[in-house]
Amino acid sequence: ERIAMQAEIYYTKAGFYSFITGHQGLATAYYETNIDVSTLAVPITVKYTFPAGKYSFFLNAGAEFDSNFDTTSSLYTEKVSGTTVDTYESEAVNIGKHQMGYVGGIGFVRNLGKLKFGTTLRYYQSAKVRTDPGYHWDLSRLSLSLIFRVR
């Protein structure tokens, strides 16, 4: 009972926004970036528990498989030079549909008869998010989860 395999499935939605002003010669450039990603994640971990009476501490580590859907990635560029305004729209990044990463965490559970509750802190690091050659973009996240179980 100290070592167990643990599999989960969860949904996340993440977003990024940036607005930057820069200069290119005599022109002023405005860059607006919007990225939204919905992800269905499946972490599969090995969990090692240190039982200690009413409290149990545990460590877990393993792999996570993500499937991205409903992705939006846009870059709006506006260049102003005197009375001339040029506007462009393009994809900010090419987000891959699937990715894999590594996950690890620590947590505790408090036993109260048939009731168990606790928390876990977990860190995730993706192997690769963007699929364009010559460009590296990855994703990391830190999550805090609450555990509640009735037997």
Q: Beta-carbon neighbour count of residue 92 at 10 Å?
A: 18
Q: What mean pLDDT, rounded, does the chain reach? A: 88
Quote the strand ranges of 53-114, DSSP E.
55-81, 84-90, 98-112
Contact predicate 83/25, CB 8 Å: no
**Band of residue 18 on the pLDDT scale cut at 50, 70, 90:** very high
The 10s digit of each residue's pLDDT in 28-82 is 999 999 999 999 999 999 999 998 788 889 999 999 999 988 889 999 999 999 8
